[in-house]
Homo-oligomer: A and B are copies of this chain.
């Protein structure tokens, strides 16, 4: 585990786009790099937050639980994404839990370091605003889906989002590049894993996709898009 990242890696982080070389070097100097094996808990819900995180490699599952144990899968973090940063600018506590679902590498900055960097390079602040804005859009869209669409549409939309952000072109389709369980999909779109299982097997029969345990490949993206759009499915 080396403790200083390669500035070239930082270039691809959404947090630090449009920054000069010099800035990236300064940012790298303040960073802490960690290798995190699959299954590592990076932070837990409600814990005091002191760091801004970004992912270099791997995949992190962000989920939120309510009092009764019900879970919402907020999102999957991929390489280049920042996470756990909102807390620094609100009440200082992580609102969700972060766990790696693949062997991963993260970079992080202390709150103090980040604030310093933001003072020197205001572009970072603008980047954060852009990231948060985009995220609000997405969450609002999901909220609208949840209130207006039926499960099939929501599952289709969840798959499309996964494909967009973690899709790997393979022979005859697009594979999701990390393990996704039925339970994950269920918690992404407010359904039970039973319903998700039923819908997926139905789609598998229609050759829309193929699945092996925890692995998923979309075969007919266009049809999936249609299902996602149309309220009424034939």
Contacts and interface: CB of A to CB of B under 8 A. Distances in A.
Contacts of A130: 89-90
A154 to B, nearest CB: 9
A110 B86 CA distance: 27
Interface in A16-72: 64, 66-68, 70, 72
The A interface is mostly helix, strand or loop, or mixed, namely helix
Contact of A144 (B72, B118, B129, B145): B72
A173 interface: no
Contacts of A136: 86, 132, 135-136, 139
Interface in A124-144: 125-126, 128-130, 132-137, 139-140, 142-144
Interface of A: 64, 66-68, 70, 72, 74, 86, 89-90, 95-96, 118-119, 122, 125-126, 128-130, 132-137, 139-140, 142-148, 187, 189-190, 229, 231
